[in-house]
Chain A
Amino acid sequence: DIQMTQSPSSLSASLGDRVTITCRASHGITNYLAWWQQKPGRVPNLLIYAASTLQSGVPSRFTGSGSGTDFTLTITSLQPEDVATYFCQKYNSAPATFGQGTRVEI
């Protein structure tokens, strides 16, 4: 099965900073990559699918890129409400494996 490796596991940045999270698939998944945001006690919220397509209602400061095995989630200007844990997920087929998560703090 394809493994999803996310890095870093946590990061701390300042308001307004550019933040980058990476996700690597052990084998190619073309662009079947989603990014989820989860705040404490909340259900995961879809940010990006198809590696770079912004889900409706998600702020444009979130961008996704990549294809094949290497993907990136970027928050262009970190805001207080972005404090959360972020997960990548492959969804080309089952198993729909998640990355380990990246906790973002300010």
Chain B
Amino acid sequence: QVQLVESGGGVVQPGRSLSLSCAASGLTLRDYGMHWVRQAPGKGLEWVALISPDGVDKYYSDSLRGRFAISRDNSKNTLYLQMNTLTPDDTALYYCAKGPREFWSGVLIDLWGQGALVTVSS
């Protein structure tokens, strides 16, 4: 069964850091671009970041660039999101999502994980 499973969520104090992981099963992650998307409680979807299959090209939401970092370890079939200097506004369900093999035809998402909840609170 093809699936993405996020982990690493939890409660963190403001100003602290947290790292999320996304493990893939049933597919070879290194073949695909990967996204992070977040959703604050009761709010809409917010695109966070995208990484190319080889990990060389990284793209970020303007509002999060500099605090968040996307990375991947293709040998472990795993995607990561490092989040620094967290604030209560970062409280959200963080989804990893699978993109295309190449970006010349767009970066459409075709598979979502179930999400990892991050709560930033003192």
B partners with A: yes
Taking beta carbons and an 8 Å cutoff, which residues of A are in contact with B?
Answer: 1, 32, 34, 36, 38, 43-44, 46, 49, 85, 87, 89, 91-101
Q: How far does the Cβ of A19 sit from chain B's closest Cβ, in whole Å?
A: 18
| Interface membership of B106, Cβ < 8 A | yes
Q: Assuming the A-B contacts A87-B45, A101-B45, are A34 and B59 also in contact, with contact meaning beta carbons closer than 8 angstroms in the complex?
A: no
Chain B, residues 89-110, CB within 8 Å of chain A (1/0): the string is 0000001000000010011111
Determine whether the beta carbon of B59 is less than 8 Å from that of A94: yes
User: Which among A32, A44, A85, A101 has the greatest number of chain B C-beta atoms within 10 A?
Assistant: A44
Interface centre among A34, A38, A43, A93 (most CB of B within 10 A): A43
Q: B115 — which chain A residues lie within 8 A by C-beta?
A: 43
The reply to whether B35 and A93 form a contact with Cβ atoms under 8 Å apart is no
CB of B46 within 8 A of chain A? yes
**Number of chain B residues whose Cβ lies closer than 8 Å to a Cβ of chain A:** 22
CA distance A88 to B37 in the complex (A): 14
Q: Are A95's CB and B112's CB within 8 A?
A: no
Interface of B is mostly: loop
| Prevailing SS type, chain A contact patch | loop
Nearest 9 interchain pairs by C-beta: A94-B59, A101-B44, A98-B45, A43-B112, A91-B108, A94-B50, A91-B106, A96-B47, A32-B106
Question: In the complex, which residues of chain A have a beta carbon less than 8 angstroms from the beta carbon of B44?
Answer: 85, 87, 98-101
Neighbouring A residues of B62 by C-beta, 8 Å: 1, 95
Q: A36-B45, A87-B44, A101-B45 are in contact. Are A95 and B61 (CB under 8 A)?
A: yes
CA distance A4 to B62 in the complex (A): 15
* CB neighbours of A91 from chain B (8 A): 106-109
